[in-house]
Amino acid sequence: MDKTPRFGHAIRHWWPLDTDIDFLNPASFGATPHEILAAQSVWRDRMERNPMHFFLDVLPLEVRRQASLLAEFVGADADRLVFVENATNGVQAAIWSHLRERRDAGKLSAEREIITTDQVYPAVRNMMRLAAREFGTGYREIHIPFPLSGADEVRDRIAAELGERCALLVVDHVASPTGLVFPVHAIVANARERGVAVIVDGAHAPGMLPLDLDALDADWYVGNCHKWMFTPKSCALLYAAERRAAHTHPNVVSLTVGKGMPAEFDYVGTRDCTAFLCLEASLEFMRRLGIDGMRRYQSDLVAEIRPRFSAATGVDTPAPHDMTAGMLAFPLYGARRMDSDSARQLRAHCYRTRKFEVPFMVHDNHMLVRAAAQVFNEAGDYDALLELLSEAEFNKVQTELGWN
C-alpha cells in the first residue's frame, strides 16, 4: 500500500466491496480491507493446524497482547479491557453485572429504575427492558429531540432526570439513529457527582473519535472495532473502571469463572477469536492512512454533503456540525409510513433499483436517512441518494412501494 495518505476512490480497491454499489453504510457492520482479511486467514490457518496448541498455548498470551495494544489506543488500563464479539454483548455483560451486584447488596427495589435515552440502540433497549423485569426495577427513556439545538440540550435533559431513584444510566457516545456525538464527558461527570453508575455505549466511537477511557471515568465503556477501525467482524471492547472490574463478568460462565475480569472474558469456551487477533494489523493500517487525517477527511466529507442533504430534504441542519463526526442523519418529513418494516422496505428498494446501501430508520415518529462517510467515499457517492430524497422522486418511490 502506498504510504502517502490518499482517500476517496483512489483507495476503494483496498476493500473487497462490490464495484457496482455506492456503499454509504460502513457504520452498521463495517468494511474490512483485503490485507486485514488476509491477516485473519493467517491466524485461522494457524489455529486449524494444531487446535490444541493454539487454544491452550498461543491464544491466551496473544489475546492479552492484542488487548494491550487496543488499551493503549483508547487510553485504558489493559487489565480492565477485554474483547467481546460486539457492543451488544458488552453492554449486556455490564448491565447484568451491575444489577446482580446491586441486588446482592440489597440496593435494588421496585422504586429504583434504569434509564437511557430514546436514541438508544434497539437491542440495548430490549435488554434493558428485560433487565428491568428480571431485577424488578423501573425502566425509563429520556427524550432527546432531533433536530436539536446543541450538545448542552442533551447534557441538560439527561442531568434533569438523574435522581436518587436512578440505579443505572446507559448513554450512547454516538447515537445510532441520528449519528449525533453526545457530550459524554459532561454526562459522565454529572452522573458521578450524583452517585449514578454509567455505561457508555460507544458502538461507533473507536476509530471515529479519539478516546481516553481512563480520563472519561465511566463505570463501563463498550465499543466496536469492526465499524470504524476496520477489523474483521466480531471484534469489540469492554472496559471497566477499577471500582467495577471485580464485579464485571461475561454473559457466558466458563472454565475461568472466579479468576478475574481479563481471564473470565478471554476464554468463554471454544470460539473463533481471530478477529481479536487482527487488532494489531488494523492499527497498522490506520496509522499508514494517518489517523488524524482519516478522521479529518470523514468529518470534512460530512460537512461538505450536509448542505446538500438540507437542500434535498428541505430540512435545516438538524444539529450543529460539532455534534457529528463520520455520520449524519436527516428526517424525511414526507414519509407516509413510519415503522421498522417500512424502513427495511425502503432500504431494500434503494439497493435493488439504484445500487446504493444506506439505512433508513424510524425515530420519534420520523423516518430518518443516515449516511456515513468512510475514507473510500467521495461527495459524488451520495448523488443517487440525494436525487431520491427530492420530494417528487421520494413520492414516486413511495408509490412504487405501495405506500398509498
Range(s) of the domain holding residue 340: 8-31+290-400
Q: What is the mean pLDDT of residues 258-262?
A: 90
Regarding whether 294 and 259 lie in a shared domain, the answer is no
55 lies in the same domain as 148: yes
Q: Do 249 and 395 reside in the same domain of the chain?
A: no
Q: Cell 405501495 identifies what position?
A: 402
Instruction: Supply the CATH number for residue 339's domain.
Output: 3.90.1150.10
Do 294 and 186 share a structural domain? no
Q: Sorting pLDDT into bands at 50, 70 and 90, what band is 257?
A: confident
Same domain, yes or no: 96 and 194: yes
Residues in CB range of 14: below 8 A, 6 or more apart: 1, 33, 34, 35, 376
Q: Is 142 in the same domain as 258?
A: yes
**Per the domain annotation, does 3 fall within a domain?**
no
Mean pLDDT of 120-142: 96
Tally of domains in the chain = 2
Does the pLDDT of residue 54 top 80, yes or no?
A: yes
| Whole-number pLDDT of residue 5 | 54
Over residues 394-398, the mean pLDDT reads 91
Domain-embedded: residue 81 = yes
- Same domain, yes or no: 179 and 86: yes
Q: Which residue has the higher pLDDT, 34 or 104?
A: 34
Last residue of a domain, one of 260, 283, 306: 283
**Mean pLDDT, range 20-25, rounded to an integer:** 94
Mean pLDDT of 382-396: 91
Task: Indicate the residue type of 376.
Answer: F
Q: DSSP 3-state assignment of 169?
A: strand
CA-based end-to-end distance of the chain: 51
Q: What is the pLDDT of residue 9?
A: 95
Q: Is residue 1 part of a domain?
A: no
For the segment 189-244, what is each residue's pLDDT rounded down to a tens digit?
A: 999 999 999 999 999 999 999 999 999 999 999 999 999 999 999 999 999 999 99
For residues 48 and 24, membership in a common domain is answered with no
Query: What is the domain-level CATH number for residue 216?
Result: 3.40.640.10
Same domain, 368 and 224: no
In a domain, 2, yes or no: no
Per-residue pLDDT of 233-254, as tens digits, reads: 999 999 999 999 999 999 998 8
Average pLDDT over residues 89-110: 92
Look at residue 77 and tell me if it is in a domain: yes
Same domain, 131 and 270: yes
**Can you read off the three cell numbers belonging to residue 322?**
460539532
The residue among 283, 313, 334 that closes a domain is 283
The pLDDT tens digits of the residues spanning 319-365 come to 999 999 999 999 998 899 999 999 999 999 999 999 999 999 999 88
Q: Can you name the residues that pair with 23 across neighbouring β-strands? A: 357
Do 200 and 276 lie in one domain? The reply is yes
Per cent of the chain over pLDDT 90 is 88
Task: Give yes or no for residue 317 having a pLDDT over 90.
Answer: no
pLDDT above 60 for 3: no
Q: Indicate whether 52 pLDDT > 50.
A: yes
3-class DSSP assignment, residue 103: helix
Domain boundary among 243, 260, 283: 283
Residue 4, pLDDT above cutoff 70: no
Percent of the chain with pLDDT over 70: 99
Q: What is the mean pLDDT of the chain?
A: 94
Shared domain for 80 and 129, answered yes or no, is yes
- Beta bridge pairs of residue 140: 115
